[in-house]
Structure 1
Amino acid sequence: MIALGKIGYLNVLPIYHPLETGILPNDFHIVSGPPARLNVLMDKGELDISAASSVEYARHPEKYHLLPNIAIGSRGPVQSVLLLSRVPVRELAGQTILVSAQTHTSAALLRVLMKQWNISVEYRTGDATRTLADGQRPAAILCIGDEALNLRHHADYPVRVDLGEAWRDQTGLPFIFGVWIVQRTAVATNPHKAIEGCATMLRAKQWGQDHIDELCVLAAQSSMLDNAQMCSYFDGLVYDLGPEQQEGLKLFYRYLYECDEIPAVPELDFLQIQDRVPA
């Protein structure tokens, strides 16, 4: 069995649905969780292949290969990575932002953007949904995934900054929140098995893109969003990691290095599996 990490959000449904339902035969044992947990499991070597925060690859490039042309990102508004604020963002200077504990990349992106905007704030990690349910009202909240979709119209937070859109406005490039990575040790130990697992992931991605309309309807059944809203959400997502997406990722890594978030700007080291994936 191949231990495969799955982000527990709707945005990866198009890739994992054909694997979990058996539409595409596979040898995966799927472990689901928020990005931050998958990052830890990959770092410990407890998963062979996984979706992971873009930051995780940048922090440990010596441990991983990137899967080619598969990612989770946006080319503008992403809708599920939001800074919710009670006041205009410029007025947050000197205040504290509650940051979801589930995210690494989105938290790093927020720090990069705040530095670009020359706004100095403090950050506190926590659970946004629980904090609001307890009656607390932080000045601003960074929330991601399904939580962001559910909280984006909260009456106490009239200012909403979509970080995918903010990045596009700042750089003109897509933003890559997550990548798929494979352990170098897994490839070295059993290259055929690891490469075939990665090739299956690319086939799953293609299946999801070919069936995105029906997957929108399926996703809406377990969400607060209706069919039209869910289709709008998926339409704003990027699952490719082509030249333009790679430029966005490289720029993000350069910014992270300049902010002392990572020790060096990593090379994008892709596992060579294209010849094993049917056209």
Structure 2
Amino acid sequence: MSAAASAPGSAPGSRPVRLGRISYLNVLPIYHPLEAGWVSHGFEVVSGPPAKLNGLIRAGELDLSACSSIEYARNPERYVLLPDLAIGSFGPVKSVLLVSRVPLARLAGESVLVTAESHTSAALLRIVLERVYGVRPAYRDCRGPVRQAMALGADDPAALAIGDEALALRGDPRFPYQLDLGEVWRDWTGLPFVFGVWVARREAVAERPEELAAAARLLVESKRAGVAAIEEMASLASLIYPKLTRAEIRRYFGRLVYDLGELEQQGLSRFFQCLAEHGFIESPPSLDILGRRQGIDSQG
């Protein structure tokens, strides 16, 4: 693997660029080349679930980070999108699931336990249940992981699980009815769904434009290196997650989208429109991508 020629934040006396890393399996191909030294960098890396990273970059404690798509939609004045980086799917994703003890039609008015780790997935769940299935459950927020809540006695008829937790629950016999939110979005809209994006704080870009541009390029380089070595990523992940076979992990990676191309941008804009229609945001923002400075207006 070739290393980058320069590393942002590595100049003498310069503060390292602070980078947020989602602590889920799905981003391993993006971050592992950085962490393994395939791509040299000077980042200060902070890990956590999406909701934590959203709060950190909103508070100015990160310069650039993966974040929930809804975080950008709610605060577009704070961020610019990094080009060519996203985490999404065009169809089943397997790691964003509604798991239910009863058929979906019987969830009207029933309690659904919702993870607090991803606000994007929680909003998407409400949108598709109402728009596609005509069901309006009562949602109950869960402070921590849903499996932890279940272990402590939560017996809600259904739950929203994301990331590694969803991968663990997808074969759980207690939940014979499951809804893959990536799949239902694709079937409904014909578009990919973008669960997460990478953003830079506008203030950081204004203060350190060259370093932030270099940091964005390094992340894209790392993504390309990881995707090119996807078989190695699957083998590594099978050691980290022994409950999943290498074949399962390889299929999982194969369902993911790591780009922010034209179709992904259309899917993201369609989601932002839905957020506005359902009252999550006042109006759908344009997509302001670093280095392009030409927003792509949200459209129906």
Task: Tell me which interval the TM-score lies in, with the shorter structure as reference length.
Answer: over 0.9
Task: Name 1:276's counterpart in structure 2.
Answer: none
* AA aligned opposite 2:255: G
- 2:166 matched residue in structure 1: 148
> How is 1:201-212 mapped onto 2 (pairs within 5 angstroms)?
201-212=219-230
1:27–1:197 contact (8 Å) kept in structure 2:
no
- Extract unaligned runs of 5+ from structure 1: 274-279
Pairing 1:97-246 to 2, within 5 Å after superposition: 97-116=112-131, 117-126=133-142, 127-223=145-241, 224-246=243-265
Residue 196 (structure 1) shift: 0.7
Q: What residue is the counterpart of 2:268 in the other structure?
A: 249
How many Å apart are 1:136 and its aligned residue? 3.2
SS in 1 for 2:240: coil
Q: Given residue 165 of structure 1, which amino acid in structure 2 is its aligned partner?
A: E
AA aligned opposite 1:251: R
Q: Deviations over 1:103-157 (max 9, x none)?
A: 1100010011122022111111113111221243210000000011111111111
Instruction: Give the alignment's TM-score, normalised by structure 2.
Output: 0.89
Equivalent-residue separation in structure 2 for 1:236 and 1:183 (angstroms): 29
Q: Is the Cα–Cα contact under 8 Å of residues 83 and 216 in structure 2 kept in the other structure?
A: no
For 1:88 and 1:144, locate their aligned partners in 2 and report how far apart those are by CA, in whole Å.
Answer: 20
The match for 2:93 among 78, 82, 94 is 78
Q: Please, which of 85, 106, 128 is the counterpart of residue 91 of structure 1? A: 106
State how far apart, in whole Å, the 1-side matches of 2:201 and 2:221 are: 19
**Runs of 4+ in structure 1 displaced over 4 angstroms?**
none
Q: CA deviation at 1:26?
A: 0.5
Of all paired residues, the percent bearing the same amino acid is: 50
Tell me which residue corresponds to 1:6.
21
Please, which of 275, 282, 286 is the counterpart of residue 267 of structure 1? Answer: 286
The higher-RCO structure (CA 8 Å, 6+ apart) is: 1
State the number of aligned residues: 273
2:202 is aligned with what amino acid? R
User: 1 CA distance for matches of 2:239 and 2:183?
Assistant: 27
Give the distance between the partners of 2:240 and 2:32, measured in 1 at CA. 14
> Would you say the 8 A contact 2:102–2:157 is kept in 1?
yes
Cα distance in 2 for residues equivalent to 1:69 and 1:193 = 18
